[in-house]
Amino acid sequence: MSKEILKEEIKFLTEVFRLLWITLLGVGGGTISLGIGERTALKGALTVAGVLTFDLLGAVVQKLQQHIRRLIAQIPEG
């Protein structure tokens, strides 16, 4: 893969990474707000769904970060 193609792919994946981070923060905040206050079955179910989504997004963000780092290491020097 050429140097320019690698750079463009890294730029694109970095933007995806930022979007996923923002989504992760939003889901985390929403999940916390569901856990606060009156307890109902619906809120409990949505809180569980939020925690599962948060965990899944966290894993995706971590894997994407590792992939971006590997791509950066592949950029030829010079």
Token duo for residue 16: 């995806």
pTM of this structure: 0.85
Q: What is the pLDDT of residue 2?
A: 87
Residues with Cβ within 8 Å of 64's Cβ and at least 6 positions away in sequence, in order, are 13, 16, 17, 20
pLDDT tens for the chain, 78 residues: list them: 789 999 999 999 999 999 999 999 999 999 999 988 889 999 999 999 999 999 999 999 999 999 999 999 998 886
Q: What is the pLDDT of residue 78?
A: 64
Q: What is the pLDDT of residue 27?
A: 97
| Number of domains, the chain | 1
26: domain range?
3-74
Rg (CA), the chain: 18
